[in-house]
Amino acid sequence: MDRRQRKTREAIFDAFIDLLSEKDFNQITVAEIIEKADIGRATFYAHFETKDYLLKELSEELFCHIFDSVNNENTEHRHIFNCNEHDSIFLHLFRHFEKNDNNILKLLSCRNNELFLRYFKTDLKLLIKKQLPALNYIQFEGLPEDFVINHISSTFVETVKWWVNNGMKESDEEINEYFSKFLHIK
């Protein structure tokens, strides 16, 4: 993707995030996104088939660097974010939330956060599955793997929601410690 296409895509994402903070997902029209992003209809459809696809792509773009870095041995990664973290996957995620990278907090606190979190949780489950052996897994012995993965991902999502709704008073390290202690993982 060239720089011009990247800028257009980011303008669409920004417009969409702004609209999501103002109204329900179902009430947003492609025409509103186009107007707010200051692009043409053909340009929008050249990037996204529908607004549903736009939401899915936005969710994937926001966290693909973390998920990609697990698949590759290279821990330095860059998509929307740029980082070179060597922390646990959960602390890594909490750090991006705390930095409010790409106005992610606006998405998390908007009226439509359940849609975003549903897409995020799908990718998070895949990440947890790959990281399961690295977690202190002993307390989950004898439980079905998919149950454990669902439990960890649900707890993570609820922890993020609690943290955001309570003003993020805790640091990324503190909230990671709460999460880890609650699940008895290291």
Give per-residue pLDDT as tens, 16-68.
988 887 888 889 999 999 999 999 999 999 999 999 899 888 877 776 755 66
Instruction: Give the domain extent around 170.
Output: 52-183
Give a yes or no: residue 136 inside a domain: yes
User: Is 33 among the domain residues?
Assistant: no
Cα separation, 89 vs 128, whole angstroms: 9
CA distance 107 to 21: 7
Q: Which long-range contacts (CB under 8 A, 24 or more apart) does 169-175 make?
A: 171/98, 172/91, 172/94, 172/95, 172/97, 172/98, 173/91, 175/94
Inside any domain, residue 29 = no
Count of domains observed in the chain: 1
27 assigned to some structural domain = no
In a domain, 25, yes or no: no
Give tens-digit pLDDT for 105-130: 667 666 667 777 787 888 889 888 88
31 domain residue, yes or no: no
Does 132 reside within a domain?
yes
40 belongs to a structural domain: no
